[in-house]
Structure 1
Amino acid sequence: MDQSKFRCPKVKGRPSKALEALYRPTLHCSGFWIHGHQLRFSICNEDVRKDSTTQLELLFLALSSLREHHSKLPLVLHLQQDNCFREGKNQFVAAAMILLVILRVFKATACGFLRTGHSHEDIDQAFGSLSALLALGRFDSPERLVDLINGGSGQRLKNHIRSRHVYASILDQTACWKAWVQQLAVKLKGIRFFTPTLYMYIYMFNFLNLAEPLTWEYAFF
């Protein structure tokens, strides 16, 4: 998505030359779609790092929201991510998925990665609808952007993506998730180097039998 749309302050239409000459910090918007439950947008200042720690923070915030609204979590977690080693395609996110199985939060977890250059996935279309919303709106702070998405102006976004539950919030800090996953004491190497050009690929971690050790599988689809 064009990051210039998130420069703050944002005005309607094309900004003037005087405004373009000024430094405007770029807000970062992350999308997390829990299918059947909620589409979440997290707004960050540009000083929040776009790395695996932020990725795990978004994941666990989404799982917490799901748990609050339902009596229990599903048996299997499938996490679909961009094909980017900086954020999700790395050993830290993989270790977190393993820990979720070891701690019996899920019976199995899977990490899927989209092909490079994808533009037709449902989350891509949601960002396209968000871009159209921003073109008609204005904001001068992260809080105003959140209000724009959550308020009446965001109803068009909800109608377009056919989702009643669209929620935006500010993410201004993250927990030390890398320190948490280090308790696994296992290093997974080479994850970032799997780069198929035609297929999505999936890592799956599961207990085939609760009395047996953890298995690790990967497959191309």
Structure 2
Amino acid sequence: MANAVEDLDTSDSDSSIDIIEISSDTSEELQPRKVFVLDSSSESSDSEVDNSEQSFHFAESLDSSSDEKSENGLPNTGENQLPQPPSQALPGRNYLAAFENSCGCEWDCLSLRLSQEDFVVAQHLFEKIGKRGAQENRFTKCDVCVALKEEKASTMDPEVKSLIDRLMEEHNTVNIAERQTYFDHRELARGQPDKYLSVIVDGMAQNKLCIPRLAQTRKSTSGLWSLRTHLTGTLVHGRHAIGYFDLMQYPHDSNLTMNIVLRILQELDQIPDTGFFQFDNCFRENKNKFVFSFFGYLVEEGVFNEVFVNFLMRGHTHEDIDQVFSVIANNISGKNVVTVDELLDIVLGILKSGYSRSGSSVHLLDRMFDIRDWIKPVAADLHNHSVPHAFKISKDETGCAKLQYKIWSTDTEWIPTDGSLKLLKAKPLGIPGMVVPSDVKMNVNKILEDIPKLINSSTVRVVTEEQKNWWEDFLSSTLPQYLAEQQQAEWPLQEIIHKKLRRNMETLAGLHFQRISSIFTGEHFI
């Protein structure tokens, strides 16, 4: 087992593996050991690796060669990197970190105290799993869980099996703790809706929502093109559920997330001071500098006092919103859902019956503000923000929005403690323009050609004349309207800010009235 490192194959040029030695002065028995740093050309490989308290880190590989990544606010290197936090995932244990870029898996939850032999075995496991090239898919099983189970099944060594069991136990412990944080936020919002807002946002699998959708697939029509729709579901805990559909005419990027947050705030009668927002780890839509900067702007404008943005462990993000999606998929399965209106009615019925009959709603997006380009000139550059799972946005003593983070929500301290990570360089100017719709992902020509063939096919007898008329009107009139460039719409954030100001004034007036009443009733002197 001690010779396991010698067996590792470092000849693969695609891995770009550089070996650095780490010595430990905490035990005479421990010998210098080696840690893998992928992509040795990266700037991150020049950073020092902390080996205090026998802590061994698998460094994160960060590609700084692409300007596009930096422009989009994706993980990158630079001067404004989020500093690496001290180990505090589980008190009393060392922090073994192998970030997801190192082997395609999210190993940064592992914090076991390992002996020399166990460390070599774990290192060997990480390298083997890394060469496997696990594919990322948010609807499949966790890469870490699958990899550990496969490794356990492939070995007969009881010591290796024991180590894998401990790694799996640690992985599950962190996952449960992160999920519990989400549950706590949800219950706070349900119990004290005047103080807390809890929202989860996620997208449903697109292959479930193609229209027309027939209960029985005919051979003669199975190859015909259909209209793809996309559902972004939101649960505003203790209040209502809202579904936002689009026809793939808008990019599914940070603009989609920020516009949906804006619409959620529009729907509220009053906006609490603290907001909890739960997203998945998709950097394109959620985990990027534009979304964080937008929340920073909301804080600076007084819409919120604090915003907490949380991300569950990758591969373990299935939550209550996904249960709603499952009910929707089961409900439309085996049914003839011919028109978009029918699909929206089915989803609305599910949201009202399962969540809130009065407040739940479904919308088909017909406009989108280009918040990304509006806030981009003033958004501070963030790097390494793909690693943490919990973020806090609040004001510093000067009234500027600051960003703090934890690797895991159960960590004890928000970093950095001095509030040095400012989210906005200045106030954004003017108001956002409108995102121009695009038919690139719709394939309009195929839709116009194939859908009439499907609904008028002699083998499809379930389509009514009313449904045929609906499609004729949609293809000739409604669809071109959704693809047309939108005129500048009224920017709703100003009304949201005024709504919050009115609420604050009403609260202050109520407190003032209570004080005066207590003076006249004598309670003031008790």
TM band (smaller chain): 0.7 to 0.9
> Does the C-alpha gap of structure 1 residues 183 and 21 become closer, same or farther in structure 2, counting only changes over 3 Å?
same
Deviation at residue 144 of structure 1 after TM alignment = 2.9
Given residue 176 of structure 1, which amino acid in structure 2 is its aligned partner?
D
Q: CA deviation at 1:121?
A: 1.1
1:137, 1:34 → 2: CA distance? Answer: 29
Counterpart residue number, 2:292: 94
Q: Are 1:171 and 2:365 matched, yes or no?
A: yes
Deviation at 1:208, TM superposition (A): 5.8
Rounded to whole Å, the distance in 2 between the matches of 1:212 and 1:23 is 53
Structure 1's unaligned 5+ residue stretches are 196-200
Which one has a bigger Cα radius of gyration?
Answer: 2
TM-score by length of 2: 0.37
Say if 2:299 and 2:305, in contact at 8 Å, map to a contact too.
Answer: yes
Decide which of 18, 38, 61 is 2:240's aligned counterpart: 38
Pair 1:58 & 2:260 matched: yes
Match of 2:306 in 1: 108
Q: Is the 8 A contact 2:274 2:304 kept in 1?
A: yes
- Check 1:3–1:185 CA distance in 2 against 1; reply closer, same or farther (3 A cut): closer
Cα pair distance change 1:175/1:214, threshold 3 Å: closer
**Contact conserved, 1:107 with 1:207, CA < 8 A, in 2?**
yes
Write the distance in 2 (CA, Å) between the matches of 1:39 and 1:162. 6
Select the structure with the greater relative contact order (CA < 8 A; seq sep ≥ 6). Answer: 1
Shift in Å at residue 115 of structure 1? 2.0
CA distance in 2, matches of 1:146, 1:30: 12
Q: Does 1:47 align with 2:241?
A: no
Distance 1:188 1:2, change over 3 A: closer
Corresponding residue to 2:343 among 129, 140, 145: 145
1:135 maps to 333
Tell me the distance in 1 between the aligned counterparts of 2:233 and 2:205.
14
8 A Cα contact 1:137 1:148, kept in partner: no
In 1, are the aligned partners of 2:289 and 2:380 still within 8 Å (CA)?
A: no
Contact 2:241 2:355 in 1 (8 A): no
Corresponding residue for residue 203 of structure 1? 391
SS in 2 for 1:148: helix
The answer to which structure has the higher strand fraction is 1
Please state whether the residue corresponding to 1:19 is helix, strand or coil: coil
Residue 3 and residue 214 in structure 1: after superposition, are their counterparts in 2 closer, same or farther (change >3 A)? closer
Assess, with a 3 A threshold, how the Cα gap between structure 1 residues 212 and 104 changes in structure 2: closer, same or farther.
closer
- SS at 1:132's partner residue? helix
Q: Give 5+ residue unaligned stretches, structure 2.
A: 1-203, 410-526
Indicate if the aligned counterparts of 1:48 and 1:172 stay in contact, CA closer than 8 A.
Answer: no
Summarize deviations over 1:45-85 as a string: whole Å, max 9, x none: 0222111101111110011001xxx2x21001111101100
Cα distance in 2 between the residues matched to 1:35 and 1:16: 41
Distance 1:185 1:90 in 2: 11
1:165-208 CA-to-partner distances (Å, cap 9, x unmatched) read 4311101331111133236342222323x16xxxxx21111126
Aligned pair count reads: 204
Q: Which residue type is aligned with residue 92 of structure 1?
A: F
Cα distance in 2 for partners of 1:141, 1:79 equals 33
Secondary structure at the aligned position of 1:111 is classed as: strand
Task: Please give the residue correspondences for 1:6-17 in structure 2 after superposition, counting only pairs within 5 Å.
Answer: 6-11=209-214, 13-17=215-219
Provide the residue aligned with 1:84 in structure 2: 282
After superposition, the CA RMSD in angstroms is 2.1
SS of residue paired to 1:63: helix
Distance 1:45 1:212, change over 3 A: closer
Runs of 4+ in 1 over 4 A off after TM superposition: none
Structure 1 residue 120: Cα displacement: 4.0
Corresponding residue for residue 492 of structure 2: none
The Cα of 1:2 is off from its aligned counterpart by: 4.3
CA contact (8 A) 2:280 2:312 kept: yes
Matched with 1:187 is: 381
- Output the amino acid matched with 1:124: D
Q: Secondary structure at the match of 2:293?
A: helix
Return the offset for 1:22: 0.3
In the alignment, the residues of structure 2 paired with residue 14 and residue 61 of structure 1 have an alpha-carbon distance, to the nearest angstrom, of 37
- Partner in structure 1 of residue 132 of structure 2: none
1:5 aligns with 2:190: no
Distance in 1, Cα, partners of 2:230 & 2:240:
20
